[in-house]
Amino acid sequence: MLEATWLIPALPLAGVLLLLAFGRRFGEPYAGWVATGAMAGSFLTALVVLLGLLERPGDDRQFVQTLYTWVPAGGFSVDVGFLVDPLSMTMVLFITGVGSLIHLYSIGYMHGDERFHQFFLYLNAFAASMLVLVLGDNLLLTFLGWEGVGACSYLLISFWFTRESAAVAGKKAFVTNRIGDWGFMVAMFLAFVSLGTLTYTEIFEGAEQLAEATAAGIALLLFVGAAGKSAQLPLYVWLPDAMEGPTPVSALIHAATMVTSGVYLMARINPVLAQAEWVLTVIAAVGVATALFAALAAVAQRDIKKVLAYSTVSQLGFMFLAVGVGAYVAAIFHMVTHAFFKALLFLGAGSVMHGLHDEQDMARMGGVRRYMPVTAGVFIIGWLAIAGVPPFSGFWSKDEILINALEVNPVLFVLALVAALLTAYYMTRQVLLVFFGEERWREPAELVSAQPDPAAGAQADAEVEPGSEPERTPAADELATVGGHRADPHDEPHESPAIMLVPLVVLAVLATVGGALNLPFAKDLHFLEHFLEPVFGENLHHLEAGGLLKLVVAGIAVAVAAAGIAAACAVYLKERVAPERVEPELLRRAWYVDEGLAAFFGGPGRAGATVLAERVDAQGIDGAVNGVGALIRAGGSRLRHVQTGFVRTYALGIAAGAVLLLGWFLLRAGL
Partner 1 sequence: MTNDLGFPLLSTIVLLPIAGAVAVALTPRARGEIARIVGLTTSTGTGILTLVLLWQFELGEAGLQFVSRHEWVADLGAAWYLGVDGISLFLVVLTGVLFPIALVGAAPKHDPKPYVAWLLLLEAGCLGAFMALDLLLFFVFFELVIVPIYFLIAGWGYEDRVYAALKFFLYTLAGSALFLVGVVATAFLHQQATGELTFDLVVIAETQAIAPTTARWLFAAFALAFAVKVPVFPFHTWLPDAHTQAPTAGSVVLAGVMLKVGTYGFVRFGLYLFPEATAWFAPVLVTLGVVGIIYGAVVAAMQADLKRLVAFSSVAHLGFVVLGTFALTTQGIQGGILQMVNHGISTGALFLLVGMIYERRHTRRISELRGLQKPAPVLAAVFTVVMLSSIGLPGLNGFVGEFLVLLGAFVTYRWWAVVAAAGVILAALYLLWAYQRVFHGEPDEANAGMLDLTWRERAVMAPLLVLIVFLGVYPKPVLERIEPAVDRLVAHVEAHSDYEQPTVAAGGER
Q: With binding defined as CB under 8 A, does residue 610 bind partner 1?
A: yes
The identity of residue 520, as a single letter, is: P
The Cα 589–Cα 477 span in angstroms is: 29
Element housing 481 (H / E): strand 481-482
- The residue type found at 561 is A
Rounded (10°) CA dihedral 110, 116, 121, 126:
-30
Q: Please report whether residue 188 would count as binding partner 1 according to CB under 8 A.
A: yes
- Residue 72 is a binding residue for partner 1 (CB under 8 A): yes
CB of 158 to partner 1, least distance (A): 6
Q: Based on the shown chain and the rule CB under 8 A, indicate whether residue 670 belongs to the binding site for partner 1.
A: yes
Based on CB atoms, which residue is closest to partner 1, 155 or 510? 155
What's the min distance (Å) between Cβ of 383 and partner 1? 36
Dihedral in degrees, nearest 10, Cα atoms 553, 554, 557, 563? -110
Can residue 68 be called a binding residue for partner 1 (CB under 8 A)? yes
189 contributes a contact to partner 1 by CB under 8 A: yes
Near partner 1 by CB under 8 A, which window of 308-316, 380-388, 568-576, 653-661?
A: 653-661
Asked if 185 is part of the footprint of partner 1 (rule: CB under 8 A), the reply reads: yes
CA distances from 497 to 96, 111, 226, 331, 366 (A): 23, 11, 37, 35, 21
Binders of partner 1: how many residues, by CB under 8 A? Answer: 69
Nearer to partner 1, 490 or 668 (CB): 668
Collapsing DSSP to helix, strand or coil, 138 comes out as strand
Maximum alpha-carbon separation in the chain: 105
SS3 label, residue 79: strand
**Judged by CB under 8 A, which stretch of 58-66, 187-195, 394-402, 523-531 contacts partner 1?**
187-195
Tell me which of 113, 137, 181, 358 binds partner 1, using CB under 8 A. 181
- Residue (152 or 295) nearer to partner 1, CB: 152
Query: Please, what is the minimum distance in Å from the beta carbon of residue 122 to partner 1?
Result: 11
Q: Which of 30, 182, 204, 436 binds partner 1 (CB under 8 A)?
A: 182
Stretch that binds partner 1, among 56-64, 240-248, 270-278, 617-625 (CB under 8 A): 617-625
Q: How far apart are CA 642 and CA 629, in angstroms?
A: 19
Task: Work out whether 75 is an interface residue with partner 1 (CB under 8 A).
Answer: yes
Could you give phi then psi for residue 80, rounded to 5 degrees?
Answer: -90, 105
Using CB under 8 A, pick the residue from 22, 33, 192, 204 that binds partner 1.
Answer: 192
Can you tell me the distance from the alpha carbon of 217 to that of 196, in angstroms, rounded to the nearest whole number? 16
- Binding of partner 1 by 668 (CB under 8 A): yes
Task: Build a one-symbol-per-residue string for 632-651: x at contacts with partner 1 by CB under 8 A, - elsewhere.
Answer: ---------------xx-xx
Distance CA 185, CA 222 (A): 8
Residue 457's CB is within 10 A of a number of other CB atoms, namely: 18
* 186 counts as binding partner 1 under rule CB under 8 A: yes
| Least distance between partner 1 and beta carbon 460 (Å) | 12
Strands (E), 23-92: 63-73, 76-84
- Cβ at position 597, least distance to partner 1 in Å: 13
543 CB neighbour count, 10 Å cutoff: 17
Q: What CA–CA distance (Å, rounded) separates 127 from 35?
A: 10
134 to 173: interface string for partner 1, x by CB under 8 A: ------x--xx--xx--x--xx--x--xx-x-xxx-xx--
DSSP conformational letter for 620: I
Q: Which is closer to partner 1, CB of 188 or CB of 456?
A: 188
Closer to partner 1 by CB, 15 or 355: give it. Answer: 15
Query: Of residues 58, 196, 489, 604, which one binds partner 1 by CB under 8 A?
Result: 196
**Inter-residue contact 72 to 34 (CB < 8 Å):** no
HSE on the CB side for 209, CA within 13 Å? Answer: 8
- Tell me the H-state helices in 196-327: 200-206, 212-229, 238-241, 247-251, 261-268, 270-273, 277-298, 304-324
Segment contacting partner 1 by CB under 8 A, of 326-334, 390-398, 528-536, 656-664: 656-664
Q: CB 539 → partner 1: shortest distance, Å?
A: 25
666 touches partner 1 (CB under 8 A): yes
Q: What residues numbered 303-332 form the site for partner 1, per CB under 8 A?
A: none
Amino acid at site 654:
I
Best CA proximity match to 14, nearest among 146, 89, 121: 121
From the CB of 449, what's the least distance to partner 1, in Å? Answer: 22
Pick the closer one to partner 1 by CB: 522 or 647.
647
**What distance in Å separates the CA atoms of residue 193 and residue 321, rounded to the nearest whole number?**
30
Three-class DSSP category at 489: coil
Residue 309 C-beta: closest distance to partner 1, Å: 21
Residue 521 or 646 having the CB closest to partner 1 = 646
278 binds partner 1 (CB under 8 A): no
Residue 613 binds partner 1, judged by CB under 8 A: yes
Among 51, 551, 552, 621, binds partner 1 (CB under 8 A): 621
386-407 burial: b if 16+ Cβ within 10 Å, else e: bbbbeebbbbbbbbbbbbbbbb
Torsion of CA 474, 479, 485, 489, to 10 degrees: -110
Q: C-beta of 285: minimal distance to partner 1 in Å?
A: 24
Considering only CA atoms, which of 293, 297, 603 is closest in space to residue 455? 297
Q: How far apart are CA 139 and CA 186, in angstroms?
A: 12
Residue 151, exposed/middle/buried by CB under 10 A (0-12, 13-18, 19+)?
Answer: middle
CB of 117 to partner 1, least distance (A): 12
Partners of 361 in beta bridges: 303
Helix 212-229, helix 139-157: angle, nearest 10:
20
Stretches 229-237, 427-435, 495-503, 659-667: which one binds partner 1 (CB under 8 A)?
A: 659-667
Residue 463 or 492: the one with the smaller Cβ distance to partner 1 is 463
Q: Which of residues 449-508 bind partner 1 (CB under 8 A)?
A: 463
Binding site for partner 1 (CB under 8 A): 68-76, 140, 143-144, 147-148, 151, 154-155, 158, 161-162, 164, 166-168, 170-171, 174-175, 178-179, 181-182, 185-186, 188-190, 192-193, 196, 463, 609-610, 612-614, 617, 621-622, 625-626, 629, 647-648, 650-652, 654-655, 658-659, 661-662, 665-666, 668-671
